[in-house]
Structure 1
Amino acid sequence: MSRTAVVTGASRGIGRAVALALAAEGFDIAAIALGDTERLQTLVTEVEALGRACLPLDLDIGDIERHAGALDAVTARFGGIDCLVNNAGVSVLNRGDLLDVNPQSYDRCFDINTRGTFFLTQAVARQMTQQTPAGEGARSIVFVTSSNAVVASVERGEYCMSKSALSMAARLFALRLASHGIGVFEVQPGLILTEMTAPSKAKYDALIAEGMTATPRWGHPDDVARVIRTMAAGLLPYTVAQEVRVDGGLMIQRF
């Protein structure tokens, strides 16, 4: 029996790499993204080339009223959900002084990064606890947070706060679901080269050259995807809510 993974923010960057890695692991994919139809369709083609099925879903995860319909579509197509990867997220509208943060940017970060992700996870977790696992495969939920869940970036305060709250959500769901045999994990990416980080590339190129990361390069979406594939494959059965840093040593204290 095949397994199914739901991946949010799946049309590009880390989410796309995760969707392809999980397809290679044997998962059918429910790929969620907002208003990125063309890239979702190319993802469908790539997943099918790996021998798996892919259901594209146009969904704003911040709109929690639409969660039920999206999950109904997934279960109608695949029968159940074995893995959820909470990857979708947004950054601040504008980097700047913490004293100038406006409610629009604050609410946007929390609506998508925290509130929407929390309630999507809640809905999936309810299904997982009521369904019979597919075959002998593990069931898992992975939260993709950020190094900014731990390390403060004053110019992106609302983003940091939303990711810090999401990190706590990972711990809470891990404790709630462990007795059901559902592994819940947190992945904290560091400097990963994606469309979101591309505008800051020159700045961080220089900092990496000066030793900002122990591994002297940017991370790539595939670096994150390999870690999540390991989690989804059930290879960490006695690990509960541990954050895994994919950051090239960015956050290791040094002197």
Structure 2
Amino acid sequence: MTDTTNRVALVTGGSGGIGRAVCERLAREGYTVAVHYAGNKARAQEVADAVTALGAKAALVGGDVAAENEMAAAFDAVESEFGGIDVVVNTAGIMLLAPITTLDLDDLDRMHRTNIRGTFVVSQQAARRLREGGALINFSTSVTRTHFPNYGAYVSSKAAVEGMTLILARELRGKDITVNAVAPGPVATPLFLEGKDQATIDNLAKAAPLERLGTPDDIAEAVAFLAGPARWVNGQVLFANGGLG
């Protein structure tokens, strides 16, 4: 088991539903947590306050995940305040759904900028900065397996995340840094629920053998496993979806 009490984690998208659950879960494990936000500083401050209420240290860092200079500055700030970074959890992402035949290409570009370029930029910084024994956890989606209609553009961005994650794990040979991705199934977050009617939500909730939607805490549990004790899990995509697909 890895001693987590002196480890520092940077969570991108830390003010979001899954991001907040990850920050709080890592705080319970004793991590110092840097909560990243792109635009909503007040919500990120709420997460940081929740982290400190759990007895852990917290800090805020802002910036566009797809902007190299802004992410370099965010990593610099965390290293300056806490002495280094041991875990990077890259939850930041956007999801815009439409059939491939009608998707607005501006939406495609927005998703790919955040989900592909953003993941690449954060992964690049993590690969350069993580201390020995570190962990990078990116985020994919279980729809890369289930192939639901309307998810074509989103899944294409997340398939790219899986590809770069698995390759980076092998490029970091000898550095004692694990690189994995978590692929959630349907999780009851605002990102997931937005734009769906109740019948669609109910059908998705029944799709997995466990017959419920996942919770942010379910996903945070998988992240905590990969961040700390799972030192022999590397170059993998962990499908946290209740058995869906």
Does the alignment reach a TM-score above 0.5?
yes
- Matched letter for residue 127 of structure 1: R
Residue 236 of structure 1: CA displacement?
A: 1.9
CA distance in 1: counterparts of 2:204 and 2:79, whole angstroms: 44
Paired residue total:
240
Residue 208 of structure 1: CA displacement?
A: 4.4
2:79 to 75, 90, 108: 75
- Matched letter for residue 115 of structure 2: N
1:3 to 7, 10, 13: 7
Q: Indicate the residue corresponding to 1:127 in structure 2.
A: 129
1:98 to 90, 97, 100: 100
**Where does structure 1 lack aligned partners over 5 or more consecutive residues?**
none
Q: Indicate the residue corresponding to 1:160 in structure 2.
A: 155
Confirm whether residue 151 of structure 1 aligns to residue 155 of structure 2: no
Confirm whether residue 242 of structure 1 aligns to residue 236 of structure 2: yes
CA distance in 1: counterparts of 2:201 and 2:102, whole angstroms: 28
Bigger Cα displacement from structure 2, 193-202 vs 83-92: 193-202
RMSD in angstroms over aligned alpha carbons?
1.6
Confirm whether residue 206 of structure 1 aligns to residue 202 of structure 2: yes
Q: Indicate the residue corresponding to 1:140 in structure 2.
A: 135
Q: Indicate the residue corresponding to 2:65 in structure 1.
A: 61
- Matched letter for residue 219 of structure 2: V
CA distance in 1: counterparts of 2:173 and 2:146, whole angstroms: 28
CA distance in 2: counterparts of 1:19 and 1:124, whole angstroms: 17
CA distance in 1: counterparts of 2:234 and 2:199, whole angstroms: 36
Residue 38 of structure 1: CA displacement?
A: 1.5
Q: 1:182 to 1:201 in 2, by over 3 A?
A: farther
Q: Indicate the residue corresponding to 1:218 in structure 2.
A: 213
Q: Indicate the residue corresponding to 1:49 in structure 2.
A: 53
Deviations 1:192-232 (A, max 9, x none): 000111232613443146x4110011100000001111111
2:22 to 18, 25, 39: 18
CA distance in 2: counterparts of 1:228 and 1:246, whole angstroms: 10
CA contact (8 A) 1:142 1:185 kept: yes
- Matched letter for residue 107 of structure 1: D
**Where does structure 2 lack aligned partners over 5 or more consecutive residues?**
none
CA contact (8 A) 2:143 2:155 kept: yes
CA contact (8 A) 1:5 1:84 kept: yes
| TM-score when normalising by structure 1 | 0.88
